[in-house]
Amino acid sequence: MKCYIVKEKTSGLSQAIFAENPAKARYVAYQLEDWTENYYYSFIDFCYGTSCERCKIGDAWYKEGKTHLDWSNDEDRKVLCNALGWYCLNETDIDCEPCPAKDVCQRYQDEHGVSEV
């Protein structure tokens, strides 16, 4: 399996998806609850409204049966922050202290004056 980043073009909502090719990555992403809760696209609209790029560094975290790196999973969040440089998109009301990935999050470091990840 290969890792692909499927990103909604206007909102920035992204998912790291494990699939055989970009088309299958988009299909897996479209089925995730995160997308269906926030967007009411048809699959065709979803494909036009998203980009899908290969993410070779993400391949290392594939495990049998795993379809994506889940932001709500503590270990996956650490990988997304540390290896892929992700951080919370919400600029307001962020409380980084309880976040399991704060020690590897560049945004946390920048905002709290931490010098190393």
Distance between CA 90 and CA 11 in Å, rounded?
11
- Dump pLDDT digits (tens) for 21-59: 999 999 999 888 666 555 556 777 777 888 999 999 999
Global pTM reads 0.83
Helix (H, G, I), strand (E, B) or coil at 2: strand
- Dump pLDDT digits (tens) for 65-114: 999 999 889 999 999 999 998 888 765 556 788 888 988 988 888 887 77
Closest CA to 14 of 65, 53, 48: 53
Alpha helices in 15-114 (DSSP H): 22-31, 33-38, 43-48, 74-82, 106-112
Helix (H, G, I), strand (E, B) or coil at 67: coil
Mean pLDDT of 16-23: 97
